[in-house]
Structure formats: C-alpha cells, structure tokens
C-alpha cells in the first residue's frame, strides 16, 4: 500500500442516508483525481443500529483506487470518543475529521491534498466553510480565495474559534497523543478537539484555508437538541455540557500569549455566546432542568463573576422558568438590531468626519 497522506475520517451514528450521500460525494471526487491512491476514507461507526454497515460494504465492493476502512465500536461511546477513535485508526499523515452530513464542495479534496503535500510540517489545519448552502453570506471566518500559514496566535484566534465545527479540522496525526485525546474526550464533552487544535497551534505552524471547501449543514436548534437525545446519554443537557467545555477553551485562549485587544474580544464573544446557549437551553427544554443548571452555574460564575450583565440577565434567565426566556428573546433581538444600526451610523459618522478634516 502506498503511503497515505490524507485520511478523511467520518464519524457516524444511525445516519445511513447522510453517510451514503457523503460517501457518494467523496467517491465521485476521488475517481477524478490522480492522488486517490494516497487518500484513505475511514468510517467510524458509533455502534449504529440501522443499515450503516451495509451502506459501507457497498462502497468497499466498488472499483476504486483510494483506501476505504470501516470500524464499528462495540457500543455507543459518545460523539467525542468516536472522533478520537476515527483519528487513532486513521492511516494518513494528516486526518481531516468529517461529519457524515457536511457537504464537501467539488474539487475540495484535491485542493486540500495539494496544499498538504507542499506543507507537511504544519501541525493543524483549519478549513473555512459555508453554513447550510454555498450562497450563504455566513462563513466560518472571512472568506478569501486562498490560504496562509502562520504561527501568530492573535491571527489564528478566529480560525480556532470556528474550529468548533468539527469538519473544519485537519490534524497531523503524529503530533497527537492517544492518551491525551481520550482524556480530553471524557472530561470535555462536545468540543475536546478544540484543545488538540490549540495544542498543535502552539507546537507547529498552522494552515488556514480561507477559501470555503465545504458546507456545514446546521439544523435549527430544536431539531439539533431533539436529535442528540437519541445519541448521547446522561441527565445534563448535552449542548450545555459542550458549551461549558467551550467556555473553558476560550478561558485558556484568554490566558495564552495574546494581545489585550484579543482578550477583550474573546471575553465579549463568550459573554454573548453564554447568553445564547442559556436561552437555547431554556426554550427547548421540555421541563425545568435542575441538574443542568447545577452543572453549568459554577463554571459560568467563575468565568463571568465580574460581569454585571451576567448577574442581571444571564442568571435570572437560567434559573427562572422557561417562559421568562421565551418572553425575553424577542426583545433581545430588537436590541441587537438597534445596536447594529447604531454601530453602522457611528462608523459612517467617524469616516465622514475624517474625510471632512482632510
């Protein structure tokens, strides 16, 4: 077998239709390239009970030049550990983690392969993406038609935050420790891969592909939280647990060697995101969730202790019944819209004043 440069590692659970579409797309791209023999596609099945295994078997029997591996866990080990399993079992020098439902754009595999082939010393790679469709104005980071390589942590903060989208992450496998990966996945549900990204950014140069190479399929918050009930165990809201992990990740970034301006931006960002997640939790919970509140509050207090907004807004919404959040939410969006309009006006006024002074 030729040396594998890139493994596309797909984590899946009971999503045969999405997986079939994903594998069809990857297959159609790879059969058009001359680098297929250096690419591996690996499916890490988190003990699916549907016909996932039959779907993969059909692709294994196809005529192809790329490697196709299938690994099925003996039990459902959770999303985080399933991604760890996908990384550990990959054969490539680089591992591109991939959700089963995100859509890789035409030519993207070849594009990524060519860049990695010429930049094999990087530790971590971020891939930009569209949300939900290729015409979307919303992307992971500001889109540009190209890529850059950097070790500047301030410059890499936006890609690191956007790396919460699992399919945007590419790792040099040799720099990862299986033991640490497993420990992070067990202790930090939802976003353990972010800590691996941060570790690699600090150890080697980072690749940032600003050109969007895939479409992240994001269901609405109700659908997403309903779906996760069937794949994750526990009494605490999975997405709140993931959010707490994200708070800890941002806290580590704030403590790292970044500029004061970047620290301020990170604090404002996570403060806003904390309110978002509290509201999402409250309006989608079927009943009052004391266990989740008990789980989340200590970390939130530790992070936002000095924030008046946290005590006056975040805490009441988290503790009060759900109708309070549902009543508050429309007014919050009106405030955000008004704040945005004021910001645009102020920027135009400042630019106009500068032009006049010249």
In the predicted structure, residue 307 carries a pLDDT above the cut 60: yes
pLDDT in tens, 226-280: 666 555 666 888 889 999 999 999 999 999 889 999 999 999 999 999 999 999 9
Residue 244 within any structural domain of the chain? yes
User: Residue 352 contacts by C-beta under 8 Å, 6 or more apart in sequence?
Assistant: none
In the listed set 167, 186, 218, which residue is the last one of a domain according to the structure? 218
Residue 1 within any structural domain of the chain? no
Residue 128 within any structural domain of the chain? yes
Residue 358 within any structural domain of the chain? no
Q: What is the pLDDT of residue 127?
A: 98
Considering the domain architecture, whether residues 133 and 102 belong to the same structural domain is answered as yes
Considering the domain architecture, whether residues 172 and 194 belong to the same structural domain is answered as yes
Considering the domain architecture, whether residues 263 and 285 belong to the same structural domain is answered as yes
pTM of the model: 0.88
Q: What is the pLDDT of residue 350?
A: 66
pLDDT band, very low/low/confident/very high, at 120 (cuts 50, 70, 90) = very high
Burial of 264 (0-12, 13-18, 19+ CB in 10 A): exposed
Helix 192-203 and helix 238-255, axial crossing angle in degrees, nearest 10: 20
In the predicted structure, residue 346 carries a pLDDT above the cut 90: no
In the listed set 218, 249, 270, which residue is the last one of a domain according to the structure? 218
Burial of 265 (0-12, 13-18, 19+ CB in 10 A): middle
Considering the domain architecture, whether residues 159 and 228 belong to the same structural domain is answered as no
CA distance 39 to 63: 15
CA-atom Rg of the chain in angstroms: 22
Q: Nearest 10 degrees: CA dihedral of 262, 263, 265, 269? A: 130
Residue 286 within any structural domain of the chain? yes
Considering the domain architecture, whether residues 77 and 109 belong to the same structural domain is answered as yes
Considering the domain architecture, whether residues 197 and 263 belong to the same structural domain is answered as no
Q: What is the pLDDT of residue 1?
A: 43
List the domain range (segments joined by +) for residue 62. 6-218
Considering the domain architecture, whether residues 203 and 246 belong to the same structural domain is answered as no
For 142, list phi and psi in degrees, rounded to 5: -60, 120
Concatenating the DSSP letter of every residue in 208-219 gives: EEEEEEEEE---
In the listed set 196, 218, 240, which residue is the last one of a domain according to the structure? 218
Query: How much is the average pLDDT of 61-80?
Result: 92
Considering the domain architecture, whether residues 143 and 25 belong to the same structural domain is answered as yes
Report how many domains make up the chain. 2
CA distance 32 to 323: 54
Considering the domain architecture, whether residues 183 and 254 belong to the same structural domain is answered as no
Residue 25 within any structural domain of the chain? yes
CA distance 331 to 22: 40
Considering the domain architecture, whether residues 343 and 320 belong to the same structural domain is answered as yes
Residue 293 within any structural domain of the chain? yes
CATH number assigned to the domain comprising residue 42: 3.90.550.10
Question: Picking from 119-123, 183-187, 324-328, 338-342, which range would have the lowest pLDDT averaged per residue?
Answer: 338-342
Query: How much is the average pLDDT of 64-73?
Result: 94
Q: What is the mean pLDDT of the chain?
A: 90
Residue 258 within any structural domain of the chain? yes
Considering the domain architecture, whether residues 190 and 227 belong to the same structural domain is answered as no
Considering the domain architecture, whether residues 84 and 182 belong to the same structural domain is answered as yes
pLDDT in tens, 153-206: 999 999 999 999 999 999 999 999 999 999 999 888 888 899 999 999 999 999
């Amino acid at each position: 077998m030729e040396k594998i440069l890139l493994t596309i590692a797909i984590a899946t659970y009971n999503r045969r239709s999405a997986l079939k579409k994903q594998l069809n797309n990857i297959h159609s791209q790879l059969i058009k390239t001359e680098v297929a023999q250096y690419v591996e596609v690996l499916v890490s099945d988190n003990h699916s009970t549907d016909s996932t295994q039959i779907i993969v078997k059909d692709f294994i029997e196809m005529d192809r030049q790329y490697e196709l591996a299938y690994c099925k866990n003996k039990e459902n080990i959770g999303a985080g550990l399933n991604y760890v399993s996908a990384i550990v079992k990959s054969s490539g020098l680089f591992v591109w983690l991939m959700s089963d439902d995100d859509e890789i754009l035409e030519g993207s595999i070849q594009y990524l392969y060519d860049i990695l082939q010429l930049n094999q010393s990087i530790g971590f790679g971020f891939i930009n993406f569209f949300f939900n469709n290729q015409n979307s104005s919303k992307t992971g980071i500001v889109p540009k038609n190209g890529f850059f390589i950097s070790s500047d942590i301030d410059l890499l903060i936006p890609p690191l935050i956007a790396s919460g989208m699992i399919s945007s992450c590419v790792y040099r496998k040799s720099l990862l420790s299986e033991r640490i990966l497993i420990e992070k996945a067990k202790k930090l549900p939802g976003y353990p891969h972010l800590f691996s990204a941060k570790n690699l950014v600090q150890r080697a140069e980072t690749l940032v592909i600003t050109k969007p190479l895939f479409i992240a399929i994001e269901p609405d918050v109700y659908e997403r939280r309903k779906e996760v009930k069937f794949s994750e165990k526990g009494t605490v809201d999975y997405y709140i647990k993931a959010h707490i992990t994200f708070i800890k990740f941002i806290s580590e970034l704030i403590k790292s060697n970044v500029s004061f301006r970047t620290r301020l931006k990170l604090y404002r960002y996570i403060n806003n995101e904390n309110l978002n997640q509290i509201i999402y939790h409250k309006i989608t919970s079927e009943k009052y969730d004391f266990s989740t509140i008990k789980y989340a509050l200590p970390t939130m207090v530790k992070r936002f202790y000095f924030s008046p907004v946290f005590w006056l807004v975040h805490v009441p919404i988290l503790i009060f019944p759900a109708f309070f959040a549902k009543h508050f939410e429309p007014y919050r969006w009106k405030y955000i819209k008004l704040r945005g309009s004021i910001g645009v006006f102020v920027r135009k006024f400042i630019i106009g004043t500068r032009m006049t002074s010249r």
